[in-house]
Amino acid sequence: MKRVIVGLSGGVDSSVAAHLLKEQGYEVIGLFMKNWHDDSVTISNECPWLEDSNDAMLVADKLGIPFQVVDLSEQYKERIVDYMFREYKQGRTPNPDVLCNREIKFDVFMKIAMELGADYVATGHYCRKSEFDKDGKKVYQLLAGKDDNKDQSYFLCQLSQDQLEKSLFPIGELTKPEVRKIATELDLVTAEKKDSQGLCFIGKVRLPEFLQQKLKPKEGIIVDIPKNSPIYDREVPEFKDKEEELEFNSNKIIYSKEDGKVMGKHQGAHYFTKGQRKGLAVGGTIEPLFVIDTDVNKNIIYTGEGKNHPGLYRNVLFVNKDEIHWIRQDLLLKEGGQMKVQARIRYRQALENAILYKTKNGLYVAFENKQSAITEGQFVAWYQEDELLGSGVIS
């Protein structure tokens, strides 16, 4: 009998995942990951992880499976929280959920599971896994979940073949309403529980407040760049080759405070991210202001009025060569190679047609349509049909 360790999070998805595995005849053990207990960075007075671990325990009890809590807060702080502060400080916007899967759930947690004699680790992600033989070797595929509304393959875009080999995603074939229905029929305490918001495993935290504990406020100015600014009429040079053209189109515009007018003040450019609309506290404009760029060195935020502002849009992005990741190693592009894909630059974004171009220094992703708020530090993931082939950090 194969042994599976389920990451029980205290939510409905992992609860139903554990039940389905039991039905399929696996020996199932539930493990709750405790990822935070650093009181120097308080998050809120509520203690969601206690409530969640309690729910996970009740579910395990109901399903009749062994249960324990593992404390991964040290690794979490080192690999996720410190990384987040580092990235924000540099004016990039990290994605803790993607990292959490790569570094915690499918690495630290997976190692613990294997030490407990597990054959597989399972989670409540809405995605699917498939496999086939190629040149006498097994190739694992990460596929989108059946529920288009809930597909979470994007969050797993940094997994490797080794990690996929040992992973199971029992609810990938189901929709969210079907999952809730099963939980209700089983009378699980998590059946009606709302989906968790906030940082992966930290619980109900609001990001700005979290960041303010490490990144000290520093007053700076908000500069608004007009839509019709001459800066957007930059002359397009003659390009000697495709790479030069891609580089030109992937470069972001460098603003200075002379390019616009001062609209107000902010408490630190590193708290803001591209495309952000809330938290600027500037009134008196016809359309809402959006952050179009931040300069953490000079501590200036640049904004544009309206969501169609030209400063928000670009159609080419670049990934540095050491930040390119292929799940499908067998499809890896060599220098000069290109590939038609569909790609997304954030979770829940519809897939968009794009072409990958591999160069000596990295990878360009050229979208057919301009994309809003391409954000450094976030992940771009590329697909063919419903298979996620690879991903990279936007540079």
Give the count of alpha carbons within 13 A of 159, CB side only. Answer: 27
Exactly one of 47, 127, 157, 200 is catalytic; which is it? 200
Exactly one of 47, 100, 127, 157 is catalytic; which is it? 100
- Measured CA to CA, the distance from residue 11 to residue 49 in angstroms comes to 11
Sequence-distant (6+) residues with CB within 8 A of 30 are 5, 6, 8, 18, 56, 59, 60, 63, 65, 66, 67, 68
Asked whether the beta carbons of 208 and 43 are under 8 A apart, the reply is no
Q: Among residues 260, 338, 321, which one has the least CA distance to residue 295? A: 260
- Segment (H or E) for 76: helix 73-76
| Strands 387-393, 324-326: pairing kind | antiparallel
- Angstrom CA distances, 238 to 235, 251, 254, stand at 10, 16, 21
- Measured CA to CA, the distance from residue 13 to residue 316 in angstroms comes to 36
- Measured CA to CA, the distance from residue 114 to residue 111 in angstroms comes to 5
Asked whether the beta carbons of 125 and 151 are under 8 A apart, the reply is no
Q: Is 127 a catalytic residue?
A: no
Q: Is 157 a catalytic residue?
A: no
- The single-letter DSSP state of residue 78 is I
Which residues are annotated as catalytic?
100, 200
